[in-house]
Amino acid sequence: MISKHAHFESLYGAVLLGEATQAERDEYARHAAGCALCAGEPVDGALLAAIASMQAAETWRPSIDRRVVTRIRETQSKRSRFTVGLLGWAAAASIAVNVFFVTGFAGRVGSAVFDAMTPPAPVAATQFGVRLPAQTFATVKRRALAERAVVAENHVARASVRRHHVAADAPLPQRGPVRRQPPASGVPDIFAGTDLAVHAANAPRAVAIESHPLNFSP
């Protein structure tokens, strides 16, 4: 909703532009007769006519068709260069990805990344052996230093468990003085009460030493 005077401004503009009807011209004339702002305003549109005549007086004839066409062609060649370049890069990337997977390098890299992200599994040592972490690609993969240390520890632990296992089945003979074994039941202990009793290991030699030949007189 425009104000009352804004309406007459619009009417005055229509009069200047030659778009007003006769009724609108009369309405504006009645308003201008009693309005201090609009009184005395020319309604012939001479100023607008002067502006319109400026175009007829102009002699400047710019020609930009070559510039526009050149710019369009440059844009097209840029787009085609970009497209060709993009296709080239896509082909190169495709070949690289193929080589990456065909040579098995992708598997090794994936395994290494997986191992790096996964914490090492705890080694459970038992009396009869050592449970080692799963060794996927054990023959082809390059082990990291930390993993090598874990494997070395596993070997040491397994060797010690083996030794412990052997000792449990057949204990090693004890060093030091060997106690004489008591004779089987029913057999008389001929060494009982003698010095030989404490030298059971040397019993045959002791017998030879301690025994005396019998002297039979003729």
Partner 1 sequence: MDNVYVLGVDHALEAEARIERLVLDHQTKLARYVRRFVNDADLALDVVQDVFFAAYKMLRSDPSRPLSAGWLYKTATNHSITYLRKKKRRGETLPLENATTAFRTDEQSATSLDLQSALATLGEEQLACVLLTTYAGYSSAEAALILGTSADAVRQRVCRAMRSMRKTLGESA
> Residue 65 Cβ, how far from partner 1 at the closest point, in Å?
5
Which residue in the set 4, 34, 44, 63 belongs to the binding site for partner 1 (CB under 8 A)? 63
Residue 142: CB partners within 8 Å, gap ≥ 6? 108, 112
Q: How far is the CB of 50 from partner 1 (least distance, A)?
A: 6
Rounded distance between C-alpha atoms, residue 180 and residue 21, angstroms: 148
Q: Is residue 125 classed as helix, strand or coil in its secondary structure? A: strand
Say whether residue 69 binds partner 1 (CB under 8 A). Answer: yes
Distance CA 26, CA 175 (A): 141
Would you say the C-alpha torsion 158, 159, 164, 167 has a positive or negative sign?
positive
Cβ closer to partner 1: 45 or 107? 45
Amino acid at 80: S
45/133 with CB nearer partner 1 = 45
150 near 187, Cβ under 8 Å?
no
**The dihedral formed by the CA atoms of 11, 17, 22 and 27, expressed in degrees to the nearest 10:** 20
In the shown chain, the binding pattern of residues 40 to 59 toward partner 1, with x for contact by CB under 8 A and - for none, equals -x-----xxxxxx-xx-xxx
Task: Work out whether 64 is an interface residue with partner 1 (CB under 8 A).
Answer: yes
* 22: contact with partner 1 by CB under 8 A: no
Give the per-residue contact string, 72-111, with partner 1 (x = CB under 8 A; - = no): x--xx-----------------------------------
Residues within the interface to partner 1 (CB under 8 A): 2, 6-7, 9-14, 16-17, 19, 41, 47-52, 54-55, 57-65, 67-69, 71-72, 75-76
